[in-house]
Amino acid sequence: MSPCPQFAADCPSRVLFDQIADKWSMMVLAVLDDGPQRFNAIKRRLEGVTQKALTQCLRKLERNGLIARRVIPTSPVGVEYAITPLGRSLQVPFRALYAWTAENLPKVERARNAFDGGTGAGTLAL
Amino acid sequence: MSPCPQFAADCPSRVLFDQIADKWSMMVLAVLDDGPQRFNAIKRRLEGVTQKALTQCLRKLERNGLIARRVIPTSPVGVEYAITPLGRSLQVPFRALYAWTAENLPKVERARNAFDGGTGAGTLAL
DNA sequence: CGGTATCCCACCTGATACTG
DNA sequence: CAGTATCAGGTGGGATACCG
């Protein structure tokens, strides 16, 4: 199986992957999967995210049709973000990835210890 | 479903995700899925990758136990990289993600055009 | 509240040169 | 061949301040 025999720069998979695989996108979608959320509510659940980074991430997700932005014209403006059906469909492969991390974290940690601890002897064991 | 009620910075999924979700890792694993490859052979198949970036990526994958590095003591040294069973297991969720990109690229492109073209009216359509 | 604008700095990048 | 070393330069992040 090789969908792209070579990974050209304009390979659709590459282009799209660059869009969805950043540090925060997956988590934002996971948060919004619980239901629509306000900006600061999302921010509170993503430990370590800055306002700037979150804003950029939300814009990108919105641009790609994965989330929807709705302005609530209250006294101090409110903005609500909601996951779209397209965004929800991306949750499926994302959850598969999450499951992999949960299942294989111990193995990765063991490999890392072997690599770091050894003088490079890790290559022998594999 | 919320495996992490909140995304703490030390959430195992977050930590591991940061390790595997960079620009090149997924493609390197896909290339090595065809069989062991030499450094420059991999480089040739990843259009746009620099030697430095590829070296860093291969080191990280090796450290995390996803690929194995083998030095072939020939006249000009040769180095062969091979995917490990652990790396191969990661291919499963990666392929699911690839399938999603292939299937949903048109929808994303349409959303993007709506967002870019419109004055922000894209929020209405969703 | 939900941003945008600004500054500043760390980092990543590309290019080049050099080594075992 | 497969790197490491180095340096210039652009990109992005963090902090702060300010606007609707």
pLDDT tens-digit map of B3-52: 455 789 888 888 888 888 888 999 999 999 999 999 999 999 999 999 99
User: Does B46 share its domain with B107?
Assistant: no
What pLDDT is recorded for position B4?
A: 52
In a domain, A11, yes or no: yes
The answer on pLDDT for A53 being more than 90 is yes
Give the number of domains in chain B: 2
Strand-by-strand arrangement of the A78-83 sheet? A37-38, A78-83, A67-72
User: Does A48 share its domain with A98?
Assistant: no
User: Does A9 share its domain with A69?
Assistant: yes
User: Does A26 share its domain with A52?
Assistant: yes
Give the tens place of pLDDT for each residue, A90-110: 999 999 999 999 999 999 999
Tell me which chain B residue has its CA closest to the CA of residue A17: B101
Distance (Å, rounded) from C-alpha A27 to C-alpha A30? 5
Please report, for the domain that includes residue B52, its CATH number.
1.10.10.10
Q: Please state the pTM of the whole predicted model.
A: 0.87
In a domain, A126, yes or no: no
What pLDDT is recorded for position B23?
A: 87
Share of chain A above pLDDT 90, in %: 69
What pLDDT is recorded for position B1?
A: 46
In a domain, A3, yes or no: yes
- Looking across all nucleic acid strands, the nucleotide with the smallest C1' to CA distance from residue A55 is C3
Tell me which chain A residue has its CA closest to the CA of residue B30: A2
Q: Tell me if chain A has a CB within 8 Å of the CB of B92.
A: yes
User: Does B22 share its domain with B50?
Assistant: yes
The answer on pLDDT for B122 being more than 60 is no
Largest interatomic CA distance in chain A: 65
Helices (H), A10-84: 12-20, 25-32, 39-45, 51-63
Contact: B16, A93; criterion CB under 8 Å:
no
Average pLDDT, chain B: 87
Give the tens place of pLDDT for each residue, A17-47: 888 888 899 999 999 999 999 999 999 999 9
In a domain, A109, yes or no: yes
User: Does A67 share its domain with A33?
Assistant: yes
In a domain, A31, yes or no: yes
Distance (Å, rounded) from C-alpha A56 to C-alpha A19? 12
In a domain, B125, yes or no: no
CB < 8 Å to A99, chain B: 93
User: Does B30 share its domain with B77?
Assistant: yes
Between A and B, how many residue pairs show a Cβ–Cβ distance under 8 A? 161
Confidence band, pLDDT 50/70/90 cuts, at residue A121: very low
In a domain, A125, yes or no: no
User: Does A80 share its domain with A101?
Assistant: no
Tokens of B81: 């990289």
Strand, coil or helix: A84:
coil
Tokens of B84: 């490990």
User: Does B56 share its domain with B106?
Assistant: no
Strand-by-strand arrangement of the B78-83 sheet? B37-38, B78-83, B67-72
User: Does B19 share its domain with B62?
Assistant: yes
> Gap from B79 CA to D7 C1', in Å?
28
User: Does B57 share its domain with B94?
Assistant: no
Give residue B101's domain range.
Answer: 90-120
| B63 closest CB neighbour out of A45, A101, A112 | A112
The answer on pLDDT for A2 being more than 60 is no
User: Does B8 share its domain with B61?
Assistant: yes
In a domain, A42, yes or no: yes
Give the tens place of pLDDT for each residue, B78-121: 999 999 999 999 999 999 999 999 999 999 999 999 998 755 44
Distance (Å, rounded) from C-alpha A65 to C-alpha A86? 7
